[in-house]
Amino acid sequence: MKPYQPVSCDIHSQYELYIMRATPLFLKYSDSAEKEKSLHAKAIDLRTRQGEEWLLVQASNEKPFSIRLDHIIECLIDTK
């Protein structure tokens, strides 16, 4: 996996707002094998592990999982 690239404070703050407002999101991200994936989910929490920042998300009826912030390609408010 590539070394972590910190995201801007503006992007970090936007994720915090999505969490506080329970905003439904559409996310495109790359997994640990660098394969692009997409997901409809809600952001639950932001976490830091070993100097890397992660967004904890949960899709409907699935277990929550974390996406490293620098792996998020696109994050949009889900209007469906």
Task: Convert the pLDDT of each residue in 11-64 to its tens digit.
Answer: 999 999 999 999 999 999 998 888 999 999 999 999 999 999 999 999 988 999
The pLDDT assigned to 34 comes to: 86
Q: Please check the confidence at residue 2 and state whether its pLDDT lies above 90.
A: no
- Are the C-beta atoms of 38 and 25 separated by less than 8 Å? no
- Phi/psi at 59 (5° precision): -85, 160
The pLDDT assigned to 32 comes to: 81
What domains, with CATH codes, occur in the chain?
9-77 (2.30.30)
List helix spans (H) across the chain. Answer: 9-21
The pLDDT assigned to 79 comes to: 85
The pLDDT assigned to 42 comes to: 96
